[in-house]
Amino acid sequence: MNCKEIYETGLLYHHYANTAYPLTPQSFMQYRINDKEKIYDLVTREWQKADELSLYIHVPFCKQRCKFCEYVVLEHTDESTEDEYVELLLKEMKMYSEILKGKKIVGYDLGGGTPSKLSVKNLERITNAVNEWFDIADDVVFSVETTPVIAANEPGKMQALYDLGYRRISMGIQTVSERLLSELGREGSASIYEKAVENIRKAGFTSFNIDLMYGFLYQTDTDFSNTIRYAVGLSPEHITLYRNRYKGTKIESEAGGVSIYKAVYQYRLAYTMLTDSGYTANIGKNTFSRVQGDYGTSDYLTKRVIYGTPYVGMGLGAQSFGIDYLAYNLGAAEKRMERYKQAIEEGRLPIQDIYPLPEDESIAKMVSVAFYFAFVDLEAFRARFGKDFCEYFRDEVDFVLDNKLMELKDGRLYLTERGADHINGVIPLFYSERSKEELKTAFAARSLGEENDERLFLDAYNIENYFRPSIAVDIAVFGRSENGHSLLLIRRGEHPYMNHWALAGGFMRSDETLEQAAARELYEETGVKAEKLIPVGNYSEVARDPRGRVISCAYTAVVEKDEVEVLSGDDAVDAGWFDIEISHNGDEYTIKLSGDGKELSARLRRNTDGSEIIENNGLAFDHARIILDAGMIVGI
């Protein structure tokens, strides 16, 4: 697969091509060690290769499992179950303390689930064991997670966590839309959030992070902007955005209804609102901080993301990533405690799957995670693997630089604004060759089909939320060259007709003229500026747009093809020139378009009222009519 093909495949499967790696639980099965007797020796040998690492302790308990949750979580548990789990966890930690003697711990997270659901006694036991059994670096900031309900109702527990040495605390609000919270199976209200923040501050925490989520099918842009505004008003030091991943959640079936453009637009919205409010982050980064020089993330995550620092995960379903191995603890698959308990009682490391990794897979995992911060640190890569990143990924780096998706700056390769919009196409460029092929094949079977995806989108779409009347502009731009004329098309990143080819265009805003809207949409989606836009006509058939009553005012222009640079943007995931041929036999006209290995066509019949489409292959909406009418105006 060449870079363009990989990039386009990542955009097509944007719900799965993200910082999580590997792609599926089955991805690494060819490397799996199946002999339980060999696991302890392998882990021991592997950690002899590292001088420092981070530590993650997993507490898998939640009051209830949210519908968007993909993690190993046990719900509706009582205190006796939690006591039993902590006993088992401490035994696992003791096993690892022997393996990791002399290794410096440079990051520590107590995560979940909801670690603050545990009793103060159990929190003390875990934290005391961490301090006693592991060599913690002096500057490590202990980080812990809580929920708004616990922080609001149990102020003594917030104080206990601070007194135990935790100095960074993260709380998931996710959304302030009570309608959306109810649909997602999560509690929350303004009074709970405000009381939670009050108790966290009273306990002494001065490094406080709030998690927010976006990209839900039934989440409107207004819902999300209200959530951001509210979160800023709570004055946390840090705010982290999580795009809903869908994979492995109770709402995975809704994924197809969420376009890449919706996620892109909501991130852009958040980026503008947060930076305007004094929070900073390089474009594409998930965590925003108002503390100068602070990435906003825990030491564990910061070192993992930038430097590829290896880590051990302890607890039910926890993940470990060593120098050359990846492992998942028991419970990762079935999300139950029985096998985890059995292994520990037998004196074994409670590992479900362990994979000695070839170097290209270790590289792919480190680089995928690096995009959480939207950059790759070139020196950190060299230190981890002894290789020059730009040489190792020569074709991929050339591709992202040439297409203005990334830029080299201060020893790092950063996403550009365009790259942040298309991050799901950028990340797979740095997968292993095996994973690139897997991306192309593994998720096609999960799709319920284009018609189902569009139905989901339309079910959640409400035209009443948008400016009315709905007036669109579409622009047929012809490129003139010595070889004849070409037509500029974009590939849509938004429903309806997602991934179909179309004319550049979009909705007119309430503060602009039709001509201004046409010029803006053309530039945003293709990077092309046309000196003169010629009106073609109005297209107002009742059913021309499945979203509702949408009238399009069409324009055309002719440019010198070799004098313009085409770059897709906004809700266009691709843009390019197509050679065009228009022929006719009596009142029947045929349009043939070819470009970049793709063939599009349409047959139309002209009459006194204009033209009607008889056959359409690959063009969105009624754009074949606009192309024919525009072509006749400019003499194609």
Q: Write down the pLDDT at residue 298.
A: 98
pLDDT-based confidence at residue 206 (cuts at 50, 70, 90): very high
Q: Write down the pLDDT at residue 260.
A: 92
Q: Which of 266-270, 282-286, 547-551, 578-582 has the lowest mean pLDDT?
A: 547-551
Can you tell me the distance from the alpha carbon of 207 to that of 200, in angstroms, rounded to the nearest whole number? 10
Can you tell me the distance from the alpha carbon of 107 to that of 476, in angstroms, rounded to the nearest whole number? 55
Q: Write down the pLDDT at residue 332.
A: 87
Mean pLDDT computed over every residue of the chain: 94
Q: Is the pTM of this model over 0.85?
A: yes
Q: Write down the pLDDT at residue 327.
A: 97
Q: Write down the pLDDT at residue 448.
A: 62
Q: Write down the pLDDT at residue 246.
A: 82
Q: Write down the pLDDT at residue 418.
A: 96
* C-beta neighbour count of 182 within 10 angstroms: 11
Mean pLDDT in residue range 167-181: 90
Q: Write down the pLDDT at residue 446.
A: 63
3-state secondary structure of 551: strand
256 with 447: CB under 8 angstroms?
A: yes
pLDDT-based confidence at residue 559 (cuts at 50, 70, 90): very high
Count CA within 13 A, CB hemisphere, residue 289: 17
Q: Using one digit for the tens of pLDDT, what is the confidence trace for 442-491?
A: 776 566 677 888 888 888 888 877 777 899 999 999 999 988 999 999 99
3-state secondary structure of 537: strand
Can you tell me the distance from the alpha carbon of 268 to that of 368, in angstroms, rounded to the nearest whole number? 21
Q: Using one digit for the tens of pLDDT, what is the confidence trace for 88-121?
A: 999 999 999 999 999 999 999 999 999 999 999 9
Phi and psi of 142, rounded to 5°? -70, 135
Q: Write down the pLDDT at residue 469.
A: 81
Percentage above 90 pLDDT, the chain: 83
- Got the DSSP string for 382-419? HHHHSS-HHHHTHHHHHHHHHTTSEEEETTEEEE-HHH
Long-range pairs, 178-183, Cβ under 8 A, ≥24 = 180/216, 180/218, 180/219, 180/223, 183/67, 183/218
**CATH class of the region 461-634:** alpha beta
| Residue 579 structure tokens | 């050679």
Q: Taking the domains of the chain in order of start, what are their residue ranges?
A: 1-21+376-453, 29-141+298-356, 147-153+163-293, 461-634
Helix 338-345 crosses helix 79-99 at what angle (to 10 degrees)?
Answer: 50
Domain 147-153+163-293 has CATH 3.40.366.30: no
Q: Write down the pLDDT at residue 342.
A: 97
Q: Using one digit for the tens of pLDDT, what is the confidence trace for 247-290?
A: 788 888 888 899 999 999 999 999 999 999 999 999 999 999 99
Q: Which residue has the tokens 């009459």?
A: 607
Q: Write down the pLDDT at residue 514.
A: 97
pLDDT at 179 > cutoff 90: no
Helix 3-12 crosses helix 394-402 at what angle (to 10 degrees)?
Answer: 70
Mean pLDDT in residue range 368-373: 98
Among candidate residues 478, 559, 472, 560, the one with its CA nearest the CA of residue 518: 472
The C-alpha angle with vertex 60 and arms to 57 and 64, in degrees rounded to 5, equals 150
Q: Write down the pLDDT at residue 360.
A: 97
413 with 407: CB under 8 angstroms?
A: yes
- Got the DSSP string for 174-238? E---HHHHHHHT----HHHHHHHHHHHHHHT--EEEEEEEE--TT--HHHHHHHHHHHHHT--SE
| Residue 503 structure tokens | 């004319």
Q: Write down the pLDDT at residue 541.
A: 93
pLDDT-based confidence at residue 334 (cuts at 50, 70, 90): confident
23 with 75: CB under 8 angstroms?
A: no
Can you tell me the distance from the alpha carbon of 106 to that of 140, in angstroms, rounded to the nearest whole number? 6
Q: Write down the pLDDT at residue 55.
A: 98
pLDDT-based confidence at residue 427 (cuts at 50, 70, 90): very high
pLDDT at 181 > cutoff 70: yes
Can you tell me the distance from the alpha carbon of 7 to that of 19, in angstroms, rounded to the nearest whole number? 15
Fold equal for 147-153+163-293 and 461-634: no
CA-to-CA dists, residue 67 to 64, 78, 180, 186, 280, angstroms: 9, 21, 11, 8, 30
Collect all residues with Cβ–Cβ distance below 8 Å to 364 and sequence separation of at least 6: 21, 430, 431, 432, 435
Q: Write down the pLDDT at residue 444.
A: 66
- Got the DSSP string for 103-125? PEEEEEEEEES-GGGS-HHHHHH
